[in-house]
Amino acid sequence: MGIYDRDYIKDGRRGGGGGGFRRPPSGLGRLQVLSVTAWIIIANVLVMLAQMALSSAGVPVHTGTEYFRPPSPGAHLVMPEHYFVPSRGVPLLMQQVSEADTKRVGNVIARPLFEVRPDGTRVPVGQNLYVVMEPLEAFGHFSTAKGFAELQVWRLVTFQFLHAGFAHLFFNMFGLFVFGPLVEQQLGGRRFLAFYLVCGIFGGLMYLALNLVGYLGIPMPGALDVDIWTPLVGASAGVFGVLMACAYIAPKAIVQLLFPPVALEMRWLVYAYFGLALWNLITGGHNQGGEAAHVGGALAGFYFIRRPWLLRDFFDVFSDSRKKMQRPGRQARGYPSDIDEILDKISQKGMQSLTDRERRLLTQHSKRRGNPD
């Protein structure tokens, strides 16, 4: 086969000046059964099904503390063993809930917070609030308290596979289904998986940073005025990174919207989504925390799609992928050393790293070889 039949070159030839494709990107919306994109979607669906199956075994997860009045300096605070129905201002009159209520997913429950006076009397000062989550969400969601204060860093990955409901799951997976194959085709499966997870991780880190800014009371646009226990779940940070990658790979590809039924160039669609997310974040709009993750994922996508070689070491746990591997097969099939070096460069850094001279050499070599191999 010729050079342009190789997986990492197909549909990756960017035009001059305008940066668009010479032909429509064939990967857009074409999901292959064994692709990484397909497996990510399958994994998210299976996790959602597992969440549903475990919905009767919920776990109370601390999501915030509410004070009725400031406790005395150095006061000793205690909580009762049992959970109660939350009630603002009158914690002593709360009705104790049954054990079944503490396992029913979605329930909001509380534990009164008492200040112990020197004479032994207990005075109510507030309450710790809990939301009952199914076990996967309870131990996999991300929050500033869990991910930062308690150093449970795995949550930066696990939160990306959890969703708050079927609508949340559907829209995220639909976006990945439509736009993921194009980016995977450009990066290759292994590097695409690293790209997707890195974008999600940066989404969580953006949420973390802005939540800490808000917690510390620093006046800054986009600071999240939410409790540090507030949970974050969803794949949308990774999906926003994929969208941003599409705007770079195929900026002039036409995308037909379902609602409103208009056609837009890829770049304008993606930048409009990003601008809306950024506006909602800065103005404190609906789902501000989620928008922080969207913006973080999009910025990571913008950066790493232009520097894909930085993703090479993502899965280096037991080996070092930076060691140059010998490829005697190329030489045996008649590849000159300069072409072999160019192909190595493409494998490591992507097509966008080639100089004009290297592109010409590839084209000339492909024409000379015809279509053997």
The confidence score (pLDDT) of residue 183 equals: 95
Task: Judge contact between 367 and 359, C-beta under 8 A.
Answer: no
| 94 within a domain of the structure (yes/no) | yes
Q: Which residues pair with 142 in a beta bridge?
A: 232
The confidence score (pLDDT) of residue 133 equals: 94
The confidence score (pLDDT) of residue 333 equals: 45
Residue 142's closest CA among 169, 165, 168, 162?
162
The confidence score (pLDDT) of residue 28 equals: 64
Same domain, 170 and 234: yes
- 3-state SS assignment for residue 312: coil
| Final residue before a domain boundary, out of 294, 311, 328 | 311
Same domain, 96 and 223: no
* Residue-range definition of the domain harbouring residue 46: 31-52+142-311
Residue 208's closest CA among 231, 190, 185?
231
Total number of domains in the chain: 2
As a whole number of angstroms, the distance between CA 174 and CA 194 comes to 20
Neighbour tally for 264: CB within 10 Å: 14
Going by their DSSP bridges, the two strands 108-116 and 263-265 should be labelled as unpaired
CA atoms within 13 A on the CB side of 196: 30
Same domain, 257 and 194: yes
| 231 within a domain of the structure (yes/no) | yes
Burial class (CB in 10 A: 0-12, 13-18, 19+), 326: exposed
Same domain, 239 and 259: yes
Same domain, 253 and 147: yes
CA dihedral 234, 240, 245, 246 (to 10 degrees): 110
Quote the tokens at residue 334. 């008649």
The confidence score (pLDDT) of residue 22 equals: 36
Same domain, 181 and 305: yes
The DSSP code for 22 is S
| Final residue before a domain boundary, out of 98, 133, 168 | 133
Quote the tokens at residue 108. 């909001």
Same domain, 111 and 160: no
Same domain, 48 and 64: no
Cα 28–Cα 33–Cα 36 angle in degrees, nearest 5: 70
| 354 within a domain of the structure (yes/no) | no
| Final residue before a domain boundary, out of 133, 152, 182 | 133
| 264 within a domain of the structure (yes/no) | yes
Q: What is the pLDDT of residues 291-346, one digit of tens each?
A: 999 999 999 999 999 999 898 888 876 566 666 544 444 444 445 567 777 777 77
| 362 within a domain of the structure (yes/no) | no
Same domain, 154 and 198: yes
| 163 within a domain of the structure (yes/no) | yes
| 344 within a domain of the structure (yes/no) | no
Answer positive or negative: Cα dihedral of 140, 141, 147, 149: negative
| 38 within a domain of the structure (yes/no) | yes
Q: What is the pLDDT of residues 154-183, one digit of tens each?
A: 999 999 999 999 999 999 999 999 999 999
Same domain, 174 and 300: yes
Same domain, 218 and 171: yes
- 3-state SS assignment for residue 237: helix
Same domain, 216 and 303: yes
Give me the DSSP letters along 107-156. Answer: -EEEEEEEEEPTTS-EEEEEEEEEEEE-HHHHHH-B-HIIIIIS--TTHH
DSSP H/E element including 64: strand 59-67
Residue 141's closest CA among 290, 300, 295, 294?
290
Residue 246, domain CATH: 1.20.1540.10
Neighbour tally for 37: CB within 10 Å: 27
The confidence score (pLDDT) of residue 24 equals: 43
Region of 64 please: left (phi>0), alpha (psi -120 to 50) or beta: left
- Spell out, as residue ranges, where the chain has pLDDT lower than 50: 1-24, 325-334, 371-373
